Structure 1
Amino acid sequence: MSERADDLGRRLGEVRERVDAACRAAGRDADEVTLVVVTKFFPASDVRVLADLGVRDVGENRHQEAAAKAEELAGLPLRWHFIGGLQSNKAAAVATYADAVHSLDRAKLVNGLSRGATERGRDLDVLVQVSLDPPGADGRSGADPDQVAALAARVADAEGLVLRGVMGVAPLGGDAGEAFARLAEVAADVRRDHPGASWISAGMSGDLDEAIAHGATHLRIGSAVLGPRPESK
């Protein structure tokens, strides 16, 4: 095994132990939580090593990079999660290779994703991204919580799309626990109308413990597994 494979295996093991401990503390089964390893800016060779180590869910932020990796690694048993900001003119293209899109935050993305999924001939899992920033803050992407119900309904009614739940990113410098508690409330509202929408995508390398405590089903972990991310590719 190469030095890089040894490093990734060690880091992956540490993250899995951390997830197990957080689940025990929250009284949850670790099998309820899916680890999505975010490989943005890292080479396809790293993704291949991760697949050999048992990783099955991989996250990407940028369409061009994600499409190239998905094509190169098409023979591996991987599920590709698109988690970055999505441009409406790229939505159909993303749906041709992604298995899940976590970042739908406005209605104009629905038609493109639906068209791409339909042309591919395979349903696409979709999550509505919820803004967890304070009102009026210039923060991360995401729909305002009061817009989520309408967006969820649009996704649920669209051909080729399967509404899976919600996604959120804790505000920079904010209290992650409070943010994820708000996300859990929004998720519960969505499930009342759409009982199958049970996913909560929340938690990254620095706040996965808080996310698990508030019901996260999917963690998006990059640096804790892969090491410091390059500034650019």
Structure 2
Amino acid sequence: MTRADELADALEGVRARIALACDKAGRDPAEITLIAVTKTRPASDVRLLAGLGVTDVGENRDQEAGAKAAECRDLPLTWHFVGRLQTNKVKSVLRYASVVHSVDRPRLVTALSAEAVERPEPVRCLVQVSLDPPEADGRGGARAEDVPALAEAIAQAPGLELGGVMAVAPLGEDPGPAFARLAELAAAIRADHPEARIVSAGMSGDLDEAIACGATHVRIGTALLGGRRAIVG
């Protein structure tokens, strides 16, 4: 089986899972944006996925993502940065990414705005929400009580556009209740910012629960591309 065949089969399987989850939730699969998270995978995989109709690609490591995006600059893709973002990497990330999912602190809003004002189109930013217990060594994100102020800061920042929220389910816990909390926060943000409709939640292992709780964007790596490969650097 060729790599193209592998990816076509995997994509069909992921789309079937999305359709089934939407059916159970009474939702339209057209509401769901599939982001192919291609970390550790080569640009050739991105090209194959684009040929299969994938339009959104996610990366979490700037050094790898920048080179890959440059190789694929001829493709009609939207690049999403989904990993933790250091302020000194903002300029590099905004060379290719038009959506940043991991905005978790005011200082990052300031850094993104300073670079985004130089672009012809605004950068869409999502507030990353921590769903981990307060005592946990979590996976990043703003605490729930800090989310409204951070969303407002993005909405007011020149060059930025508030897109909504993003989260990762807590390790070792049922993702359903965590995603339900995210849905409540997302609704509260939309009450003040109706345009902020994105709920980026759900990965290979929990996309079904995320869709049941209102996810609009799912970030799929392993189920689509296989296990991650070791990278150098």
Asked if these proteins are the same fold (TM beyond 0.5), I'd say yes
Q: Which amino acid aligns with 2:133?
A: P
Aligned to 2:98: 99
Q: CA deviation at 1:120?
A: 2.4
Aligned to 1:133: 132
Q: Tell me, in whole angstroms, the C-alpha distance in 2 between the residues paired with 1:116 and 1:48.
A: 28
- Please, which runs of 5 or more residues in structure 2 have no aligned partner? none
Q: Is 1:227 matched with 2:195?
A: no
Which residue in the other structure is 2:210 paired with?
211
Tell me the residue number matched to 1:44.
43
Distance in 2, Cα, partners of 1:94 & 1:115: 13
Matched, 1:119 2:118: yes
**What is the deviation of 1:23?**
0.2
Moved more, 189-198 or 113-122: 113-122
- Which AA in structure 2 matches 1:73? C
User: What is the rounded CA distance, in whole Å, between the counterparts of 2:204 and 2:156 in structure 1?
Assistant: 34
CA distance in structure 2 between the aligned counterparts of 1:208 and 1:138, rounded to whole angstroms:
23
Match of 1:63 in 2: 62
Q: Which runs of 5+ in 1 are unaligned?
A: none
Q: How far, CA to CA, are the matches of 1:182 and 1:55 in structure 2?
A: 29
Which residue number corresponds to residue 198 of structure 1? 197
**How far apart are 1:115 and its partner, in Å?**
2.1
Dislocated runs of 4+, deviation >2 Å: none
Shift of 1:70: 1.3
**Distance across 2 between alignment mates of 1:135 and 1:22:** 30
- The secondary structure found in structure 2 opposite 1:177 is helix
* Aligned sequence identity (%): 61
**CA distance, structure 2, for counterparts of residue 195 and residue 143 of structure 1:** 21
Give the distance between the partners of 1:85 and 1:137, measured in 2 at CA: 17
CA contact (8 A) 2:119 2:159 kept: no
Give the deviation of 1:109 after TM superposition: 0.6
Aligned amino acid, residue 95 of structure 2:
T
Between 90-99 and 29-38, report the one with greater CA deviation. Answer: 90-99
Higher mean C-alpha displacement, 2-11 vs 16-25: 2-11
Q: CA deviation at 1:164?
A: 0.5
Helix, strand or coil for the counterpart of 2:65?
helix
Name which of structure 1's ranges 102-111 and 91-100 shifts more when overlaid on structure 2.
91-100
* TM-score (structure 2 length as normaliser): 0.97
User: 1:170 & 1:231 partners in 2: Cα distance?
Assistant: 24
Aligned residue in 2 for 1:145: 144
Report Cα offsets for 1:175-233 as digits up to 9, x if no partner: 10011001001101111110100000000000000000000000000000001111434
Q: Which residue of 2 aligns with 1:89?
A: 88
- Aligned partner of 1:120: which letter? R
The one-letter amino acid of 1:198's match is: R
Number of positions where the alignment pairs a residue of Structure 1 with one of Structure 2? 232
Q: Distance in 2 between matches of 1:139 and 1:35?
A: 25
What does residue 79 of structure 2 align with? 80
In the alignment, what sits opposite 1:19? 18
CA drift at 1:136: 1.6
1:187 corresponds in structure 2 to 186
Q: How has the CA–CA distance of structure 1 residues 91 and 35 changed in structure 2, closer, same or farther, with 3 Å as cutoff?
A: same
- Name the CA distance, whole Å, in 2 between partners of 1:113 and 1:67: 17
Amino acid at match of 1:211: A
Alignment partner of 1:163: what SS? strand
AA aligned to 2:158 is E
Please provide the CA RMSD for this pair: 1.0
Aligned residues of 1:94 and 1:113 also touching (Cα < 8 A) = no
Distance across 2 between alignment mates of 1:132 and 1:123: 28
